[in-house]
Structure formats: structure tokens, C-alpha cells
Structure 1
């Protein structure tokens, strides 16, 4: 099942994508797709609906982040050995964790703002995991049972702010529109194995990232169980699992986003994003 949220920013409504790929409105049955709607019972009831009887969305309808009310965004850094190498860092012995501000969330086709003073704006295609049930010190073998679904995400980063301004990484990660998510939330039964996904990203039509989740240093169950040892993960929380090689920082010479650049990215079963950079 693929779930969406559609409409103007801040006024998104619940939707679903039918088996033929047609986006439809389900807001007459569901107030939103957020923490309260991610329990197994609600998801099962949605899956039982004949989506073809629901109203089609008009062509060009904006899609927002497919999950509303996200409480926190927890990110895993350097989770692919090739990305660690291109960053000039050794692969970590344990998952590297950092946070992104929830105010950085935006839709899969929204404009990405290049903030004033930004000089090294970078891209990172990632698999995102949406928590469906509370996780606190959950064993690795039970972790996937707590997942509501998966999303495509772009962990946009201002590298100078992240790496050259002192302190921790967060200041280069939390700008407005630095977390495009979607187009869909795909439930685990439809996506299948999260370690069998190809991820890719293009800038202005040039393929720069082409990776695979089988190359994770720390797989999804490991990451979720590890995070849950240090903080409670609540329904609706979003975990970003890291990016493969090919980011702008790793190009020779390094290459960064400018106003007018277009990113296109995708992952197996998770759809695509198209994002244009604008002055912010």
C-alpha cells in the first residue's frame, strides 16, 4: 500500500495510490496520515478499502511529506563504506547518529531553498524508515515489526556549515526544505526487503549516485535497535539510514548545488523526486 498526503503546505490531506498508480483522496475516511494513523489496525483497515471507488486527485495536485506530525528525524551518518571513504573518514565501528530539524521537511517536488550565505549545498539520496510503534530498547530481532513503512528521502546538507563552523553536524542539516520526503509512504508488505533497494540521484540529468541498500554497514534492524537504546522512537518518527557514494563533497573537484539546479532521485518501489533549487 502506498499512502500520500496532498494539498497546500500545512493543509495536506490523506490520500492513497491505487494498484494502477492513480492517486486518490481518502480524507473523508481519515483525518490525516500521522502518528495516530500508523498503528497496524488502521493500516490494515486502509488496505482493505477498494481504492478505485475513491475520488481521483486532479492532475498536478501537490504532494507533501507523506507523514504528518513527525516528532523527530534521526539520521545515520557514514552508513556506506564507499561514502565514508569519499568523505575521507574511516567506516564507523558503531552507527553515527545526528538529527535534522522537523522544520526542514518538505514535499517530494517542492523547491529547495539555497539559504543566504550557503556555499556548499549537497545532496544525499536515502532510504527513510517510518516508525509505527513505540521503540524503547527493542531487540534487533524485533525491530522490523515496529516499522509502519518506508519513504524516499534527500538529506540535503550545507557542508561548510556542517563541517567548517565548529560544533556538531546539525547546523548544516536543518535548513528549511533540507528534508524532501516522499512521494509515498510504502508499507512493509508492499516494499519487501529494505536491503534489496537500488538508490540513485541525478543533478541536471547527470547520474551521480547509484547505490544499493545491500551495502549498508548497519542494516535497518540494527539501526533501529541501536537508536532505541539511546532514545525512545515514537510512532511517526523518521529514521534516515544514510547515503551511498556520489555526493557533491566526494566529486573531484567537489561540486555543489546552485540556484537553478535540478535534482532527480529515486529508489526501488519508493517513487521519484524532482527538486529545483531556488534562492532562499
Structure 2
């Protein structure tokens, strides 16, 4: 999106926004083209896709807000709780999200997503993380709580159902976001405000999370890290708060835009 709010076409610069584009100076090429007014306005489009294509990994941090840990009855973790989502959970910000078959506890989670622009391997300090972050986006870490917590103790099978990671609408570069620990996050279900938090309440801040993960795995350009959710999820509200087909979920984070998803049935 240009500074005047118009959606601009990047096809002259890249076929897609992916790891190779981010690692290869793609953001700087976009900035140069914007400065020279070389990007045409995008034509009519039916949907907005996720702002990064084909991430190698979607890594997630659980229980990363003290109020969320409290509402779920969990102890505040001494280290980040790490789990993965399948890359093919990624869909666009306004795409339909499918309630899985036999699901009774499909939940929502507004999260700040970090998109890697460089390789993170054994970073020596959290301060180094800023060098490898391309930008940020909104993510909905959709979860099926029965699958996650009551079916053998493996979180991934409650997190990796199809369509369970809507992301976007925009990749907002790190310099435009500024302090990632000063962003408000909000989520509504059928118009009712369910989550209203701030990244200042994260137990482990964004830079710490990226540094920490780099001690256990290599984060590559184009990878996505979801950094946790504030209080207000259905798990802490009771059975009537879980999502069903036809429900509408809306999310926003300061400066990152807004999502809207209608729940369908798998």
C-alpha cells in the first residue's frame, strides 16, 4: 500500500513476496520504486492473500501474556513455550476459516506475527534480532482446544487444521512499526469485543523470542513467528464462547490493518 492509501502493484519487482524476495533486498527495491512513483495502482481484485508466500516454518509462542496464562489456569512459563503450525494453515486475512469435523472447541487468538527477512542462527543477544526482522502482520492463531489439550497432549494437532492461520492484510516493515512492544491488539466475535490487549504485556518480548528460537532452530527468511495472544480467548470464557459455523471474527492491531473471517464447516 502506498503512502496515500492506494493498493499498488508489485509484479514488476517480484512474482511473490517470499523468503528469496525478503532476503534479496526486495523491501529496498519497493521503497525505491515508491520514491520514483514507478508502481501502478492494482486493478480490481477479489481477495487479499497472506502477505508472505510459502513460509518454511510457522513457529508459535504459547502463554506469552500473563493475563492469558492466568485465564487458562496455567503457570507463567520460565521460558517461551514453543510449538509449530503446518505451513499450509496460512490463508488470507479475509478468507473463510473452517471449523474442523467433530470440533466442539474451536477458538480464536489475535497475535502479532513476525516475518523474518534474514537468517537467525544462534544469535548472541536479543538486540541482534532487529537485524533479521522484515516486518510484522496480524495473525489469527485459530486453535481447536479439545484436539490441543484433550487428545494426547500434542498441541500441534489442535493448531494445524486447515485454514488455521489467517494472516495479513499487510506486511508492515519494522521501521514503520517502531516499538513492537507498544501495539494494541483487539478481536471481536459477531461484533462483541472479546480481546483487548497490548504487546507491552508480553512475558517475552519480540526480540527475546527471536533470539531464543535461534538457539534451537534456524529461522530462515520468509519464516513466520506468532508471538502469543492476550486474555479473552474462548478457553477462558466457557463453552458458549467457542466458534461455530456462521460466526464472524474480526481482528486488528495498531498500524497493521484489520482482518475479517466468516467461519465455515470442514
TM-score range, shorter chain: over 0.9
Summarize deviations over 1:208-249 as a string: whole Å, max 9, x none: 000000001000111001000000001111000000000011
Provide the C-alpha distance between the structure 2 equivalents of 1:27 and 1:59, rounded to a whole number of angstroms: 15
Provide the C-alpha distance between the structure 2 equivalents of 1:152 and 1:218, rounded to a whole number of angstroms: 18
2:172 paired with 1:191: no
TM-score w.r.t. length of structure 1 = 0.91
2:93 paired with 1:108: yes
Question: 1:141: how far off?
Answer: 1.7
Provide the C-alpha distance between the structure 2 equivalents of 1:128 and 1:118, rounded to a whole number of angstroms: 26
TM-score w.r.t. length of structure 2 = 0.96
Q: Tell me the equivalent position of 2:9.
A: 25
Question: 1:22: how far off?
Answer: 1.1
**Which stretches in structure 2 are left out of the alignment for 5+ residues?**
none
Provide the C-alpha distance between the structure 2 equivalents of 1:102 and 1:42, rounded to a whole number of angstroms: 22
Summarize deviations over 1:98-122 as a string: whole Å, max 9, x none: 0000111100000001111111000
Question: 1:60: how far off?
Answer: 4.8
Q: Tell me the equivalent position of 1:157.
A: 143
- Structure 1 residues 209, 237: closer, same or farther in 2, change over 3 A? same
Q: Tell me the equivalent position of 1:55.
A: 40
2:192 paired with 1:239: no
Summarize deviations over 1:20-48 as a string: whole Å, max 9, x none: 11112111221211001113732112111
Q: Tell me the equivalent position of 1:7.
A: none
Q: Tell me the equivalent position of 2:114.
A: 129
Provide the C-alpha distance between the structure 2 equivalents of 1:223 and 1:167, rounded to a whole number of angstroms: 23
Aligned length: 264
Summarize deviations over 1:151-190 as a string: whole Å, max 9, x none: 1000000000000001310000001110000000010111
Q: Is the 8 A contact 2:105 2:239 kept in 1?
A: no
2:132 paired with 1:146: yes
SS at structure 1 position matched to 2:209: helix
